[in-house]
C-alpha cells in the first residue's frame, strides 16, 4: 500500500512539473507576441525622400551649369563611381574631379533633368533616370550638340542628406560613320598628247 502511495505522489509530481513547463512556454510565447506587436512599423518616407532627392539633383545641375567643379563633385559619396562614356571608370574623388573639370570647360554648356525618381521602401537608397543636353562652342569650329540619358544611384547619409553613389550617362546620338578610305587603285593618267604621239610613230 505504501508503494502505491509513493507511485501516486510521483505521478502527481510529474504532472505538476509538466503543467508548470507548459505554462512557462505559453507565457514566453505570449511575451514574444506582445513584444513583436509593440514594435512600430517603420514610417513610409518615400514621398518626402523623393522630393528631397529631386531638389538635390536640381541643385546639382545648377552647380554644373555654373561650372563650379568643387560644388559639383560635393554631391558624390566618398566611395562613389562615375562611369562616363568612352572613358575608364572614375572610382575616387580625384578622378571624378578630373572628369568633371574636362566636361565643364569654358566653351561647354551642360544641363540635365530627372524624369523618374524611385525610392526604396527602406528609405536608404534611390535611383534617378533622366536626360541631359550638352553643347560645346569651341572657337573656330561648329557648335557640337549632344543629348543623352543618365542613371544616378543615390544613398542616404548618416546625417539624413542624400548623395550620389553611382553615376552613369551616355549619348543618344549614333556613332559617327567613318569616312570611306580612298581607293588603293590609282587611276591611270593619260597625257593629252599621248595618242597623237602613238599615231605619229
Look at the chain and report how many structural domains it folds into: 1
Strand partners, 170: 149
CB 146 within 8 A of CB 109: no
| Paired sense of beta strands 144-156 and 162-171, if any | antiparallel
Confidence (pTM): 0.69
Is 148 part of any domain?
yes
**Confidence label for 19 from pLDDT (cuts 50, 70 and 90):** low
Residue of higher predicted confidence among 143 and 195 = 143
70: containing domain: 46-171
Is 151 part of any domain?
yes
Residue 57 makes CB contacts below 8 A (sequence gap 6+) with 114, 117, 128, 130, 152
Is 150 part of any domain?
yes
Is 31 part of any domain?
no
Say how far apart CA 150 and CA 146 lie, in whole Å.
Answer: 13
Is 145 part of any domain?
yes
Structure confidence by residue, pLDDT tens digits, 125-174: 999 999 999 999 878 788 899 999 999 999 999 999 999 999 999 999 99
* Mean pLDDT, rounded, for 99-107: 93
Strand partners, 162: 156
Is 129 part of any domain?
yes
Say which CATH number the domain at 70 has. 3.10.450.50
Is 18 part of any domain?
no
Is 194 part of any domain?
no
Amino acid at each position: 500500500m505504501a508503494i502505491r502511495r509513493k507511485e501516486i505522489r510521483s505521478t502527481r509530481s510529474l504532472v505538476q512539473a509538466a503543467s508548470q513547463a507548459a505554462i512557462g512556454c505559453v507565457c514566453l510565447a505570449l511575451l514574444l507576441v506582445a513584444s513583436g506587436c509593440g514594435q512600430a512599423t517603420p514610417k513610409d518616407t518615400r514621398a518626402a525622400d523623393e522630393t528631397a532627392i529631386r531638389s538635390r539633383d536640381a541643385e546639382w545641375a545648377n552647380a554644373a551649369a555654373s561650372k563650379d567643379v568643387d560644388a559639383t563633385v560635393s554631391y558624390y559619396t566618398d566611395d562613389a563611381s562615375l562611369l562616363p562614356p568612352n572613358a575608364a571608370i572614375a572610382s575616387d574623388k580625384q578622378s571624378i574631379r578630373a572628369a568633371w573639370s574636362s566636361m565643364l570647360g569654358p566653351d561647354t554648356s551642360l544641363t540635365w533633368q530627372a524624369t523618374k525618381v524611385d525610392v526604396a521602401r527602406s528609405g536608404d537608397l534611390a535611383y534617378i533616370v533622366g536626360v541631359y543636353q550638352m553643347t560645346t562652342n569651341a572657337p573656330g569650329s561648329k557648335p557640337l550638340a549632344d543629348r543623352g540619358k543618365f542613371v544616378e544611384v543615390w544613398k542616404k547619409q548618416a546625417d539624413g542628406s542624400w548623395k550620389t553613389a553611382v553615376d552613369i550617362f551616355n549619348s543618344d546620338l549614333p556613332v559617327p560613320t567613318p569616312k570611306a578610305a580612298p581607293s588603293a587603285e590609282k587611276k591611270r593618267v593619260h597625257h593629252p598628247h599621248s595618242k597623237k604621239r602613238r599615231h605619229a610613230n
